[in-house]
Amino acid sequence: MGKIFITGSADGLGLAAAQNLARAGHDVILHARSRERSQTISSTLAGSHHIVIGDLSSADDIRSLAKQVNEIGRMDAIIHNAGVYLQSERGSTREGHATTLAVNTLAPYMLTALIERPDRLVYLSSGMHRSADSALADIDWQARSWQASTAYSESKLHVAALACAVARLWPETLSNAVDPGWVPTKMGGPNASDDLEMGHQTQVWLAVENDREAMTSGGYWYHRQRQRPSPAVEDVRFQDSLIARLAEMTGVYL
């Protein structure tokens, strides 16, 4: 049985994936933004599981979170599930970053670099990444007028490209991006049209299964079907430019 860390596992798709993996006998390491949120996990997920705590909008918390995970031991798989959706304002983290960029892009990048390298990495993207511009000049929204949907789409382009870059740079690690679909979670809302069960099955499958397709790397998946992402995702020059930009912003290097 595997040891799997899931970010953002207090509710939604992250909790659903955790419950699925726990029922199958895996050792699930859960993540909550705060101690109050961690109590929610304890009350909804039976059994004894590690819970690590950290706010993904804070670089200090991200470093602490990585340390907590590393102290537990090497993970077999990590599912980068946590994210924020349509933020009404740019916001400003302790480091001055836009909240959407910090949580959806900088956090998975930093955790990828800081946590001991696992066998498998799964990053949650979105079909909305296809509408994003691949320009990196103002990814932190310091010059542009705030547009929540555009910022979200860009962050999901970044994380899909990160997954593909890691697959290329770390060939011994299976790294994939997943579009869970528009599912009726707290983030997706009650009118979402995709199936919640299918929304978490693909990342669980990529994290633990050993059939031929699940053991591939560098893919972009929707409901266990491999799809072609935006061309920028597979563009090595874009991947390298993105990683260099994220390293510059965070001081953390892959």
Closest CA to 121 of 157, 168, 153: 168
Catalytic residue, from 3, 109, 123, 156: name it. Answer: 156
Q: How far is CA 40 from CA 32, 51, 134, 203, in A?
A: 9, 11, 38, 22
Catalytic residue, from 123, 152, 220, 222: name it. Answer: 152
Contact 49, 28 (CB under 8 A): yes
What is the helix (H) or strand (E) element at residue 28, kind and residue range?
A: strand 27-32
Q: In what side-by-side order are the strands of the sheet with 120-124?
A: 51-53, 27-32, 3-6, 77-80, 120-124, 174-179, 220-222, 225-227
Give 118's strand partners: none
- Distance between CA atoms of 73 and 70, rounded to whole angstroms? 5
Catalytic annotation present for 156: yes
The catalytic site residues sit at: 152, 156
